[in-house]
Structures are given as C-alpha cells and as structure tokens.
Amino acid sequence: MEATPLSIPEHALGSNGEKMPLLGLGTAVSPPVGAEATKLAILQAIKLGYRHFDTAAKYGSEQPLGDAIQEALSIGSIKSRDDLFITTKLWCGDAHGELVATALKRSLQNLKLEYLDLFLIHWPVSAKPGTYEFPIKEENFLPLDFKSVWSAMEDCQKLGLTKSIGVSNFSCKKLTALLAIAKIPPAVNQVEMNPLWQQKNLREFCKAKGIFLTAYSPLGAIGTFYGSNRVMECEVLKEIAKAKGKTVAQISLRWIYEQGAGVIVKSFNGGRMKQNLEIFGWSLNEEELRRISGIPQSRGVPGTPYTSRFGPFRTIEDIWDGEM
C-alpha cells in the first residue's frame, strides 16, 4: 500500500504554528548524482507520500527540487504548492545582514517558488561575502554577526519570503546568544542526531526554549565523504532490528521520532525511501530504548571543514563550545 501524505505526523512550529511533516527527504548528495537523477528521485518521493523536502544553497539541489515541484503539480501528484514543506539554508558566504534577503530570493528563483516554509542559517559562521566555494579557504572565514544576520532573517519572515526561520549546527551556547537578541526566536535547530550521537543536552535545552530539533545524518550519512557506516553497523541496532523484523534504518529513524525530534533522511533508492516512511504505527519498548541509550556516544560530523587557524573556530571544540 502506498503511504498517503496523511501517514506522516506533523509538528506545529513555534512562531506561527505552521505544520512541518516530521519526516523529510534530504537532497544533499555526495558525490553529486546530477540534476535529472535528483529530480526523478524527488518525484518518486512525492508519489510515495513525502511532503517535506530539505535543500540548501550549498547542495546544488535547489533547481532540480524546483523542477520536480513544477512537474508534480503539472501531473497532479500534488494539488498545490501549499501541500509541500520546503526548507533551504543560507550559505556562509551570504551570512551577512545585507546579503540575507538577496540570497533567499536567489533560492526562491532556483526553486521556482514564491515563499519558503523554513529558512535556516546553515552553520554558525560567515565567509567572505559572495564566496561560494566548498571547502571554504581558511583565510575566508569570518565570525557570524548574529545581530545583523538574524535581524535580516526576521525581516524575511515578516515580508512573507519564508514562513519560519531557524538555524543549523548551533550549540546550546550559540542558541543562548541568539535568543538574547532575537525578536522572533528560531523555530528549528537542525543538527546531527542518531543513536550514536543522541544530543541529550541539546534536546533538553531546545525543548525548554521551544526550539524544535530536526535530525540530519540520522543513519550516519553513509556513502558521503563525511559520513560512515557506524550507525548501520551498530550491533545493538542490528539486534533490535532483527528481533523486531525491521531494518536498522527504521530502528534509528523510529528512535529519533520517539525522542520528539523531526528527521531528514536522504535516500534516492525507491525501496529504501518507502521503508523509511514505514516508521509509524509501531514503537520501541522500554528495554530497547534502554539499550539504545547505553550506546557509546561520539559525533559523526565534527565540522572540521569549518575550522581555520585564523578563526573564528580554531578547533572543532570551538564550533560546538565543548559540547562534544
């Protein structure tokens, strides 16, 4: 049976109650697969019931996502743009007060949309204005001016260019600094989270502050230059999956969902896309949750490409403020 869009639970976001599907499809593909393959995967995902799509200026997938949305509308896979929840992110080279609105409008142009559902600051650091390379050259990093950049993000929401605004890869300490100056608090913090990096402190902090946590790399970003198979090869997860007749991916995604977080999962494989939707309507028992909470913890995405001997982050500890 094909999943209907109704089978994905939603969360009402803080600032305006906008409903975000708790499971989204990520479009960061490393190494890249090309625009046509990306578009076809997104069209297939829409047919299966995905309604939340996550992209970023950095991923190069905004245009194929935009093309897929247009095609889905023309063939009737969705009735209107409003059926979808679209997230994109502000790249470091555009993380300057005066460049934020221009960057968002560029993303809208790529996506062929009139508004975003969610616009995130991709990393808590800036780069030389207008630089789009990755990796960023060490000498091109600059501190993020929270006040001017966040104020520009707030203006984008007020203008209706995006329904909600948020951040990605922000520590408790950086969120505290942002909340001190924010008129509109961030609706979302998108961070690495999976059974091998459970983010317990950050989860509790965000919950207390009304910031919704969304997980990226829920399966360890297997197959990417920065990821590993450590989640998929975790013995505890393999044993639970076997006992339940589920996949390791389903156990990991279900665990994140049960912690009250959203999840962005990236697979362009049709069979796995379908399996990844099948995480509702069953649950992990207390013993299984206890076993997962005992898994040794370490970051899988330390953020090394965002460190520089010139600063602002000389070490990965600086990025996460020691929240290792």
Residues labelled as active-site residues: 59
Q: CA-to-CA distance for 201 and 143, rounded, in angstroms?
A: 25
Distance CA 65, CA 2 (A): 22
Look up residue 182 and give its amino acid.
A
- How far apart (Å, rounded) are the C-alpha atoms in residues 125 and 311? 10
For residues 222, 86, 140, 132, the Cα torsion angle rounded to the nearest 10 degrees is 90
Q: Do the Cβ atoms of 96 and 148 come closer than 8 Å?
A: yes
Q: Give the span between the Cα atoms of 209 and 186, in whole angstroms.
A: 10
Residue 215: what are its φ and ψ, rounded to 5°?
-95, 130
**Cβ distance 196 to 223 under 8 Å?**
no
What's the length of the chain?
Answer: 324
Side chain identity at 144, as an amino acid letter? L
Q: Note whether 179 and 209 are within 8 A (CB).
A: yes
Output the six-digit token pair for 290: 């206890």
How far apart (Å, rounded) are the C-alpha atoms in residues 176 and 179? 5
The closest alpha carbon to 122, from 88, 147, 171, belongs to 88
- Burial zone of 250 (CB within 10 Å; 0-12 exposed, 13-18 middle, 19+ buried): buried
Q: Terminus-to-terminus CA distance in the chain, angstroms?
A: 42
